[in-house]
Amino acid sequence: MSTKIKELSGLAFLPFPEQTEMLLSELKKRFSLNDKPTARYGDLFYFENLTAEDFSSGFPYWARCTMIKPFLLTFDSIGEAAGELKKIQRNWAPYQYTCFRRANLIQEKLPYINLKDRNFPVEIPSSPIGLYTLIDEHTIIASAETSSNLPAGTLHFIEDHENPPSRAYLKIQESLTMARLFTGCELPKAGDRCFEAGACPGGWTWVLAGLGANVFAVDRAPLADSLMNNPLITFQAHDAFTFKPEEIGPFDWIFSDVICYPERLLQWITMWLEYNPNLKMICTIKMQGEIDWPLIQKFADIPHSRILHLNYNKHELTWIHIPA
């Protein structure tokens, strides 16, 4: 066998872990794509008849990484496989579902990229990262062009199991990291004023105060005791969505991880942006049963907005608004 590259038509999608059904549902209901996958490699789904033009509104949210120009690479040796990938570009990350040792040996021969969990805050390089997958001992499906600057679309943080009052803090760490990657914005900092709606028990507030920002945290239930006496945090027991912006503003950042219907969240966001269209905002869109895709598109249509599914999201999406 000699080394050979065969370009493929189509696209391939790698869903977030345990989110395969959400990806397939999104392809069908958001994009009206009823074709079955041409092939499945572990959790990687290849569709030979799709093109990037089919996704002019953006690639699926539930795909952590999309292969945009996939190809097959056949090879004899580990060195050949790594050498051929390096000829194409420097940065490659693996998705592994079979031939694990062989995949690890190939990765060792490729230029180093950080595949480990990160400490927050972290700045993600803007360099492109290709994705490759061994489908047997002598064949790789790969794409140098992908939808993500993260290795295999994955970002995980080294967790603090002692100080945060809830694991929700990981969502805001990831969303702030992605906001900075997409827009170049600074993280909340000393002197910034942040409003968090539905803050209890305080995971997001804990992150914001840890960055030095002043936080106005509102919920019907109090924050964790460890946060209630923090001089950077002002807590008020109240329904956060009933405050009028002119009553409590101005703010630099607005945050919400509130469990509510998406329609109500959209109304609340609209109210705040009518008050100040230059607000930086990060909100979780909590899905209530079947996803209303036309409604989600209304979030996406707000200028300076981006919607994504986070590694730390479940049945929810994250909406980010960072004005230019």
What HEC string does 76-99 produce?
CCHHHHHHHHHHHCCCEEECCCCC
Q: State how far the Cα of 190 lies from the Cα of 207, in Å rounded to an integer.
A: 13
Tell me: domain 169-321, CATH 3.40.50.150, correct? yes
CA atoms within 13 A on the CB side of 160: 15
Q: What percent of the chain has pLDDT over 70?
A: 99
| pLDDT above 70 for 52 | yes
pTM (2 d.p.): 0.95
Q: State how far the Cα of 215 lies from the Cα of 203, in Å rounded to an integer.
A: 12
pLDDT digit string, tens, across residues 65-79: 999 999 999 999 999
pLDDT digit string, tens, across residues 190-245: 999 999 999 999 999 999 999 999 999 999 999 999 999 999 999 999 999 999 99
Q: Where do the domains of the chain lie?
A: 4-153, 169-321
pLDDT at 3: 66
Contacts of 171 (CB under 8 A, 6+ apart): 203, 204, 257, 284, 310, 312, 313, 318
The one-letter amino acid code at 111 reads: P
pLDDT at 90: 96
